[in-house]
Amino acid sequence: MAEILVVEKLTKTFKSGNRSLTVLDDVSFSIEEGSSISIVGPSGSGKTTLLGLCAGLDIASSGTVSLTGIKLNALDEDDRAYVRNQNVGFIFQNFQLLPTLTALENVTVPLELRGEKDFKDKAIELLERVGLGDRMTHYPSQLSGGEQQRVAMARAFITSPKVLFADEPTGNLDEETAEKVQNLLFDLNKQEGTTLIMVTHNLELASFTDRILRLKGGKVISDEKTPVKA
């Protein structure tokens, strides 16, 4: 299978006054199309920074990121945004739904930004697939945390992304709700053939991906395949 993400010698340093802090240090790995990987490690190990660099939300101090064959560090901010819009979906820990829009309207936002039309049926179908067919006209404040995350999931998949970036997707949910969201995420991912790149502190959740990349102090300390689930 072709490699959809290639990270080479990635280093990210932040300057604060006369001091500099290296958050990522010479990180390299690649991911095949249609596979899944979890990025794990203690707080401050550089997980979310790495995710942001892989998605082109930020640019590394040195090294390269190639996403769908495109070198992100060679692009300006507008071009990186275009690559994301065409290829990437996001799921965040805090849902990031727009409070003034209904569930249905939140799901259609990415396609509206693309300038596409006739997307309502697709949005309805996705909300039905995540079990929210009867909650489409509800606003985020009228939905539980699990329901909000399912809306966010439908929004992430509506563009049929090649790559889905998930940052602690179950981090704000209770155990029972987290398990339902987890199962839904992996089911949708498998059905759509999406490549999943997930940051999580939950090793049980991480064990459902094909690989686990462990960070410590900004460095990769292991990159291992996970045992096949029975």
- Provide the β-strand partners of residue 73: none
Condensed to tens digits (0 to 9), the pLDDT of residues 124-148 reads 999 999 999 999 999 999 999 999 9
What is the pLDDT, as a whole number, of residue 229?
62
Distance CA 188, CA 103 (A): 18
Query: Residue 230 domain-assigned?
Result: no
Q: Indicate the number of domains in the chain.
A: 1
Condensed to tens digits (0 to 9), the pLDDT of residues 198-229 reads 999 889 999 999 999 999 999 999 999 988 76
Beta strand 3-16 pairing with 19-32? antiparallel
Query: Residue 41 domain-assigned?
Result: yes
Query: Residue 192 domain-assigned?
Result: yes
- Which percentage of the chain shows pLDDT scores above 90? 73
Average pLDDT over residues 44-68: 93
- Which percentage of the chain shows pLDDT scores above 70? 99
What is the pLDDT, as a whole number, of residue 215?
95
Condensed to tens digits (0 to 9), the pLDDT of residues 154-200 reads 999 999 999 999 999 988 888 888 888 899 999 998 999 999 999 99
Average pLDDT of the chain? Answer: 92
Range of the domain at 50: 3-225
Which of the pair, 117 or 6, is modelled with greater confidence?
Answer: 6
Nearest CA to 91 among 171, 181, 152, 179? 152
The enclosing domain of 129 has a CATH number of 3.40.50.300
